[in-house]
Amino acid sequence: MVAAVLPTYARMPVAFDRGVGAHLFTAEGESYLDFGSGIAVNALGHAHPHLVQALKDQAEKLWHTSNIFEIPGQQRLAERLIAASFADTVFFCNSGAEAIECAVKMARRYHWAKGAPERYRIVTIEGAFHGRTLATIAAGGQQKHLEGFGPPVEGFDQVAFGDIAAIKAAIGPETAGVLIEPILGEGGLRVWPHSSLRALRALCDEEGILLLCDEVQCGMGRTGKLFAHEWAGIIPDIVAVAKGLGGGFPVGACLATENAASGMVAGTHGSTFGGNPLAMAIGNAVLDIILADGFLERVQHASKLFSQKLAQVQDEHPDIIEEVRGEGLMRAVKCKVPNKDLLEACLQEHLLTVGGGDNVLRLLPPLIIKDEEIEDGVRRLSRACTALARGNGVAT
């Protein structure tokens, strides 16, 4: 008999009843330290008082009107995102996949409006993850996501990660743009060198095509700046965000320059729930915190401490950890053992982590993580490595 909930997830055998900050609690009162943050969604931890109050206040006033009418909270959030970024305009939706769909449609429509409808193809990166819709699994190009779902949506050309020459070779007269994650999330947490991002920006300019960034996971302060591409000093044409933007409430957004969005006129795109008053109240509350003086500097401080502590764990457990990767509070350890084994060992230590491609274990603590919680989490990771090494017969 099939499960009541469609069994498309390989769930861990634990359920949570409540959360506070970086901690989750079962109904029996067992505490877990959350270094997964709902896969980088809970940017401000669990039950942040400012977000809770914003949701309560909005829930008592108005939930939904549709985009047929003006939505003041939507206008305010768009203006704040624009003021804090490269963008001139914002489209709101419900998820990262929808934000990517909007980005791809916008790139195609840009060239169509400029009189080049033949330019519709997007160059993407092998191992990338852009969502689970038909178009976004085609953009990601991973066979494990495409298998059994019929012919992939046409128009995506994958090239190897980090290979600017391969990207240049893949660009042709039908290319509309290049889509990258500045830091691959699910695809092994690999970081594009800043010099490569600058070279990619120059290449797109030379070819007259658009640069699209997927910052669904690495955006909204995760690296210590509002967006990860800022570290490279580049200005993209379109950026997709979600996850941390809602701090746990479903919301996504597609940010763009006026030029890139020039083809998107009334009637070309829409979303029933996208940008509704509830989501916008939470999005504005998240920005209240992330854009407050000193918040991102505090993330940068926590990042340095996290990096130092993880390097120590790697030194202590060379038979378990091959490499530490990432930037900001978006880190991973590449495992010498199956990453699932280390994930389960961490779970035994009541430390929540997230698996990833290329045999990595992702470590994505909330941005409000305290120094002592970083040290606690790394100690639990070290104990998990020790337990795993003993189980494998390795002296520690």
Once rounded to an integer, what is the mean pLDDT over residues 42-63?
Answer: 98
Strand partners, 161: none
- H or E stretch covering 178: strand 175-180
* pLDDT of the residue at 249: 97
Alpha helix stretches (DSSP H) within the chain: 37-40, 49-59, 72-83, 96-113, 134-140, 143-146, 164-170, 194-207, 277-290, 295-316, 339-348, 371-391
Both structure tokens of 231: 């570290």
Both structure tokens of 11: 């769930």
Please determine, for residue 394, whether its predicted confidence score (pLDDT) is greater than 90. Answer: no
Name the pTM for this structure.
0.96
- What digits encode the pLDDT tens for the residues 7-40? 999 999 999 999 999 999 999 999 999 999 999 9
pLDDT > 70 in the chain, percent: 99
- What digits encode the pLDDT tens for the residues 86-134? 999 999 999 999 999 999 999 999 999 999 999 999 999 999 999 999 9
Please determine, for residue 391, whether its predicted confidence score (pLDDT) is greater than 90. Answer: no
Strand partners, 285: none
Confidence of residue 393 (pLDDT cuts 50, 70, 90): low
Rounded Cα distance between 378 and 119, Å, is 48
Rounded Cα distance between 300 and 278, Å, is 30
* pLDDT of the residue at 166: 97
Rounded Cα distance between 396 and 387, Å, is 9
* pLDDT of the residue at 164: 97
* pLDDT of the residue at 231: 98
